[in-house]
Structure 1
Amino acid sequence: MTKSNRHYVLAAGGTGGHMIPAFALASELDRRGHHVALVTDERGAAIPGKPDFLTAHVIPAGRFGKNPLRWPSALKRVMEGRSMTLRLFGNFEPSAVIGFGGYPAFPALIAAKSARIPSLVHEQNAVLGRVNRTLARSVDAIATAYPEVKRLKGKYADKVHLVGNPVRASVMALRDEPYPHFSEDGIFRVLVTGGSQGARILSEIVPDGLAMLPPALRGRLQVTQQCRAEDIEAVRARYSAHGIPAELGTYFEDMESRLADTHLFIGRAGASTIAELTAVGRPAILIPLPIATDDHQAANTMEMVEAGGARMIRQPMATVANPDDFEEEKANRMRGRQSDIKQRMAKDLCKQIRVLADNPKGMAQAAHAAWNCGRPHAVSDLADLVESFGGADMMDVIKVGGNQARARVQGAATAHSQARETAR
């Protein structure tokens, strides 16, 4: 098997955060002449965006929760998944197995170790995920999306490679487009999303927070918001009561075109969201999911916030509980407390929007700060790392702290900054 015609197996869990970078890598490896197969679960096989050439192999994957009584059945499913993946390896003969996190990656990667096939994992978040953490010792390389990743032990530093988080080609195509013109009297386009299923807290606080803006600024708003299906009519009524024009939907197929026109993003801080915002350079107000494992969404915001490209608002855990699950007196107290918290969040959101929107030059600077956090070569650098297995030595250019990689990113940022200054 030549370098131009190798076989690779990608293994990813059934969420968009795991699957989007897997799809991006698959497309890049296919473009380079390699053959690629995907190992996932039923949810992963149903995620939209899978390239037509990519065959998905659905395997059982056990979930080890907090209840020890369920561990034996979970282990049984893991071993079933391992056996199925080993049979795939026997036919496909991969040069390497690449895991993107999620439970289906676990049996595939332990199968790779058993078959003595080189393996690596890609971590999309700023906290090493549970599966990747478990496998960190046995894999040959760990690709990261952030310079600093929590829960990644220092003893693994020699196998860590900073590549970034691959994004869709349609989004990456916007990277060299200028930030939409934003002035003191022009349209103010706001995009609100909460991940693939929306976020109820955003449906409750964003309309109210926007309604608190001064009339002159509120009258310039043009809002696009993704909502849950069960919330959409209530959100529409909220915006209508506030006199704010808003386009609502449960899913937008042309999200990249909406992102292209956006002046300000408001939403969750999932890995793919951060990667896309930094790829195109859009300022953001981020509200991390408070129940995310290891609080990884809050960690995801840090680089962008510290650079000046985003602001973060915390959602207290008290807003997560459902009052309907409690007896009447406690439920009423909980609803009152939640109402107060949401009101404070709406006021904070209004304040943060005003800080940005009242200073058009500052808004453009925040956009550029976000852009500087992007890693536009993520998919090619990850593909280079993957190709290093069975071929030449791993490329120093993509090692963490590699001077050439850093120079390439900084050089692109400088050129982009100069082009924007010329445009002004």
Structure 2
Amino acid sequence: MIRRRTSHIVLAAGGTGGHMFPALAVGQELLSRGHRVTLITDRRGLKYRKLFDGIKILEVDSTTFTGKGIIGKILALPKILSSIRDAKSLLKMVGAGAVIGFGGYPSFPTIRAAASLGIPTCLHEQNAVLGRVNRLMAKSVDAVALSFENTDKADWQSYNYVAVTGNPVRKEVEEIGDLYFPTLGDDKIFRILVIGGSQGAKIFSEVVPQAISTLPRASQRRLQVTQQCREEDIESVRAIYADTKIAVELTTFIDDLPNCLRWSHLVIGRAGASTIAELTTAGRPAILVPYPHATDNHQTANARELLSVGGAWLYQNNEFNAKTLAKVLQRMARHPNEVWQAAEESRKIGKPYAAKDLADIVERLALVKGDKSVITVNEISNENNEDVESKGLVAKR
């Protein structure tokens, strides 16, 4: 058995699920390897604290220069400098061996503080467009990890070290990819999962039940639907489904998303980074409707690879309507092999080992104490000495 040298790894993540869930997956992987792990987040991130079992959580105030005018930048500067000083004190207190930032405003002061202390740093980008905060820091950190090889606004040649790891997902989702796709034949139940982010999406509450209500009774009888709705929409959605007589479960929050993914044949949802990562890891096809106000239209970019291999169908917000969706669902019901094939293509591009690969990188950074000259492709490997470069993970300047 190879005995690992352990360190204290700090995760820096903003207070949204898109940043927090990848941080959680990597944190759990690092804990399993015997490392101590601390999360530094903002007030919004504290609402996820129950998920971070075994991980110490510290808070830092956060703001950013991005999206502000000259006056706003001047006014934000004192708070940013104060946050960096606070983060520096926290890093000294825990004895951080390395810091990995997952984007969002808390990443900025924590990564800057680590750099000033000579602590090794790594950034992870979840989306297919490099986020604004990560853009500010990418050229100055020790390593950059991307979820997509084709990441817009990423300047590979300017980074000290870059790897394509994928976007970490929870272990329960990883396990789904090893299972058979649920049987879907002409006379079998067709299970649809509708998700819209942590609070649901109004467009799905309007379009999906209307589309299903127009289907022939024979098609309706085959359907089982689990749909996430906003609290203010749930009763109106329930009223539309009441006339269909199909099996429907409505909820404002899906507590066990991995289990719902496990039995679903089709997912309807947005194209957030975590959604794409979970779909491709689990091997599930999807109808995707990117959030139209996403910064730099990053949700459309997130779906690009999945669309190119035939693992999903994409509609912009203004294209997604009940008539169109009803036609698509009827076609899928008549041609179940099309759904199965899309599931296969989705699974082929999944990166189920993203958490492990990212943990390998930050673990090595911590162990070499920031000496980038000794970080090589062969050194960032697992205990079985599997060459990371053979998996297409690493490119080095």
TM-score over 0.5 for the pair: yes
TM-superposed CA distance for 1:232, in Å, is 0.5
Residue segments in structure 2 that go unaligned for 5+ positions in a row: 369-373, 382-386
Cα distance in structure 2, aligned partners of 1:217 and 1:310: 21
Cα distance in structure 2, aligned partners of 1:395 and 1:128: 23
RMSD of the TM alignment (CA)? 2.1
Cα distance in structure 1, aligned partners of 2:74 and 2:248: 50
Post-superposition, which runs of at least 4 consecutive aligned residues in structure 1 deviate over 4 A? 396-399
Matched, 1:132 2:106: no
**Contact 2:140–2:159 at 8 Å: present in 1 too?**
no
Question: Which is further off, 2-11 or 166-175?
Answer: 2-11
Cα distance in structure 1, aligned partners of 2:375 and 2:35: 19
TM-superposed CA distance for 1:360, in Å, is 1.6
CA displacement 1:345-385 (0-9 Å, x = unmatched): 22222233233332122211111111111101111100111
Partner of 2:326: 350
Cα distance in structure 2, aligned partners of 1:227 and 1:49: 23
What letter matches 1:382 in structure 2? Answer: L
Aligned residue-pair number: 379
What letter matches 1:252 in structure 2? Answer: I
**1:201–1:397 CA distance, 2 compared to 1 (3 A):** farther
**1:199–1:124 CA distance, 2 compared to 1 (3 A):** same
Matched, 1:193 2:195: yes
TM-superposed CA distance for 1:215, in Å, is 3.1
3-state DSSP of counterpart to 2:188: coil
TM-superposed CA distance for 1:177, in Å, is 1.1
Cα distance in structure 2, aligned partners of 1:209 and 1:398: 50
**Contact 1:286–1:312 at 8 Å: present in 2 too?**
yes
What letter matches 2:349 in structure 1? Answer: C
**Contact 2:213–2:240 at 8 Å: present in 1 too?**
no
Partner of 1:90: 92
TM-score w.r.t. length of structure 1 = 0.85
Q: Using CA pairs below 8 Å that are at least 6 residues apart, which structure has the higher relative contact order?
A: 2
**1:74–1:242 CA distance, 2 compared to 1 (3 A):** farther
Partner of 2:384: none
Matched, 1:365 2:341: yes
Cα distance in structure 2, aligned partners of 1:197 and 1:213: 27
Cα distance in structure 1, aligned partners of 2:241 and 2:219: 15
CA displacement 1:92-116 (0-9 Å, x = unmatched): 2222110000001011011112112
Partner of 1:148: 150
What letter matches 2:51 in structure 1? Answer: K
CA displacement 1:160-187 (0-9 Å, x = unmatched): 2010111111221222111100011111
**Contact 1:397–1:404 at 8 Å: present in 2 too?**
no
Cα distance in structure 2, aligned partners of 1:357 and 1:373: 25
Cα distance in structure 2, aligned partners of 1:171 and 1:75: 41
Percent same amino acid at aligned positions? Answer: 45
3-state DSSP of counterpart to 2:176: coil
TM-superposed CA distance for 1:242, in Å, is 3.9
CA displacement 1:279-304 (0-9 Å, x = unmatched): 11111000100000111111111111
3-state DSSP of counterpart to 1:62: coil
Partner of 2:299: 297
Cα distance in structure 2, aligned partners of 1:93 and 1:3: 18
Question: Which is further off, 22-31 or 150-159?
Answer: 150-159
TM-superposed CA distance for 1:15, in Å, is 0.4
Q: Which structure: greater helix fraction?
A: 1
3-state DSSP of counterpart to 2:152: coil
